[in-house]
Structure 1
């Protein structure tokens, strides 16, 4: 069976050595630092979706390889990177199916991006993660310099900014994680670029200076159109708080859901472990206690610990459902949360439709319901983790006490000490 952790180590070593041997100062943006950033962001997004070790190795390997082709052919670097990956992975006897997954991930980063699988979406978003960060302007400047090193004629700042605005407006993140986390910041970067372009245009035409009538200023926006830019900018700024609020609700709800899944997994682990302990005690020890009477107290302690830990773990995952009914008065008074199924699952469709339409028409009712839903998730999470903490504490300390009790019983109270 392939050791994917070892494979990923070999891939990273190969990529880092490749950058050393192909050290080109022309690649100011597509360099080792960019690749390392993409690998880190790929890992971050993949961990959010809790991908298995195999898939993590596949997508991170693709991230290490995805830009190595720039040193061979910048205009077709994805296909060159895929060939480099294929050659290396075959030499390491990696399965053809895994090689295909890695190559598809690399090719998915080709512009315009069109990923199909979750892994392809992850690497695409990791590759352009910076578009929604505070580092965007710095990296965009490096990208312009690199572009001008390979293309003629060069693009000046204004031309490049307009090109960047168009790119940002057309771009979209493919994972809901990046959409929730980065979309609002990406919009902010668009507005910053627009303001810089607008300021540059203002500097080109100064009212106090006369322009030579024989000189034509190319690509200058007429003065009458400039207020429109400012108006759109102001509108976007006015929309930001609402978008920020919606993003906050999405991220918080997603985080609560992930924490709830983690709690359920922890409870499952505790239930499984204690089930095994109980089965072993019942089948091996309890039926022979008449032969080992000195083990009675340690056995009872361990039984009690296992039962208590299992009970608290089950309680942490035990669902509690409300009566599933609401009244029209509750809808009119905005006191019911229609976003939680427990409040409406016994209601008819017409009543539920009435409530939802009422909520969607009322911004205060809608946001109030979102707040209640978020709060309810937090309350449930608090209860889950409180019970889980009790279960793990009981198990940990109880196990220590049980082991000590067994040692004392065997050491001081055993006479013939027969073997079980």
Structure 2
């Protein structure tokens, strides 16, 4: 089944459905919101490199997840699941996939409680906006829709209270969204609480501002930053960099490098396996019969050499390079060593390593420089891996062409 062609048909169907069932009261749960959820689902799905079928399930659920608002807003998840099931059945999609799509749509029901990875992706995509800069815009649209649908006058203060409770109770279910969106969501919650506290001073204590999803960390000593912070005339910091945002960037970058490294190792393993089979066949079958077919000697040796060179470069791409495994106190004092890479400390004692790590964690500049070195080192290793892997693939591709031509010429000459 061509899932991508079917996704185009689903997009056309849902888009047409929204246009033909236009409802002025649905200011938020409309085609614009659905497209935002689909884009978020695609972003998360691409991050986790889902299979074609799982990707299809996630994106399909995102397209259908709010279509039920036009028939039964109170049970829109169930209606959306039913609508998706009917459409997919007509298109010949197998029943297990249809049921999985339906479960992903039901997983968006509040309070969210997704169980599988696909359900978690769709649930996070539906509330992706809580951790983005467009949170305020979407919140206003949702309030207007709530007032229009329920025909009640809900004040801004009441809506703010509802939103605060939502943000406090909500948590993202995928690691990707937790790392990417939790900081911004926490800032939105903090601003809402500050507005409530300014309007109702007696609520200042009952509504403490806490970071979302993570416990409070003990206060750290002030350390000279990598980039000096400017202070305005009132003594407030002008350059207040998002610390957790920087840490999120390092986590995601490191995870992406690790996935690319795994992909390179997998590709190298494929080349080694394929060419090992070719060499085995050449040695066991063809080379034994060269006396009978001498015209194939040169093509066989050519193919054998090509396979050997391909294997060598594939092995070089995956061969580990281990440093000396030690560091000195001078390296620590001069901030030259990266204690985040095992190759720099695996021969050191536990006490020496612990001492070095504690010194690094107490020095923000040292810590960030180590993180930068770690990301840079991963990139250098990746570059070397992919260069050698590219040589391996090029040798195999062009060598295989030359070998086939050589075998063809030898066969023609024999005739």
Scaled by the length of structure 1, the TM-score of the pair is 0.78
Specify the alignment match of 1:181 in structure 2.
180
Matches within 5 A, 1:73-88: 73-86=72-85
Q: Which secondary structure does the structure 2 equivalent of 1:286 belong to?
A: helix
* CA deviation after TM superposition for structure 1 residue 387, in Å: 0.8
Matches within 5 A, 1:44-63: 44-63=43-62
Residues 408 and 236 (structure 1), Cα distance of their counterparts in 2 relative to 1, 3 Å cut: farther
Specify the alignment match of 1:209 in structure 2.
none
Query: Is residue 2:133 matched to residue 1:123?
Result: no
Question: Residue deviations 1:155-204, cap 9 Å, x none?
Answer: 35565456445544543322222233333444555577678x59xx8xxx
- Which runs of 5 or more structure 1 residues have no equivalent in the other structure? 202-219
Question: Residue deviations 1:287-325, cap 9 Å, x none?
Answer: 222233233223222222221122111111112223434
Matches within 5 A, 1:229-240: 240=241
Specify the alignment match of 1:243 in structure 2.
244
Specify the alignment match of 1:106 in structure 2.
105
Q: Which secondary structure does the structure 2 equivalent of 1:148 belong to?
A: helix
Question: Residue deviations 1:131-172, cap 9 Å, x none?
Answer: 333443433333232222113433355654564455445433
**Which 10-residue stretch deviates more, 137-146 or 123-132?**
137-146
**1:398 & 1:87 partners in 2: Cα distance?**
52
Residues 408 and 94 (structure 1), Cα distance of their counterparts in 2 relative to 1, 3 Å cut: closer
Query: Is residue 2:278 matched to residue 1:286?
Result: no
**Which 10-residue stretch deviates more, 395-404 or 254-263?**
395-404
**1:120 & 1:101 partners in 2: Cα distance?**
8
Residues 279 and 55 (structure 1), Cα distance of their counterparts in 2 relative to 1, 3 Å cut: same
**2:279 & 2:33 partners in 1: Cα distance?**
53
Aligned-CA RMSD value:
3.7
Residues 240 and 101 (structure 1), Cα distance of their counterparts in 2 relative to 1, 3 Å cut: farther
Question: Residue deviations 1:91-135, cap 9 Å, x none?
Answer: 667666544433332222122222232212211121122233344
Specify the alignment match of 1:252 in structure 2.
253
**2:15 & 2:278 partners in 1: Cα distance?**
48
**1:136 & 1:240 partners in 2: Cα distance?**
21
* CA deviation after TM superposition for structure 1 residue 4, in Å: 5.6
Specify the alignment match of 1:387 in structure 2.
388
Query: Is residue 2:146 matched to residue 1:147?
Result: yes
**2:143 & 2:265 partners in 1: Cα distance?**
48
8 A contact 1:184–1:240 mirrored in 2: no
**Who wins on radius of gyration, i.e. which is larger?**
1
**1:16 & 1:284 partners in 2: Cα distance?**
60
- Which runs of 5 or more structure 2 residues have no equivalent in the other structure? 212-234
Question: Residue deviations 1:350-373, cap 9 Å, x none?
Answer: 443333333222222322221221
**1:250 & 1:356 partners in 2: Cα distance?**
18
* CA deviation after TM superposition for structure 1 residue 29, in Å: 2.0
Aligned length: 389
**2:88 & 2:394 partners in 1: Cα distance?**
46
Question: Residue deviations 1:209-255, cap 9 Å, x none?
Answer: xxxxxxxxxxx4469x8xxx9xx9x9998764322321221122122
* CA deviation after TM superposition for structure 1 residue 30, in Å: 1.3
Residues 273 and 237 (structure 1), Cα distance of their counterparts in 2 relative to 1, 3 Å cut: farther
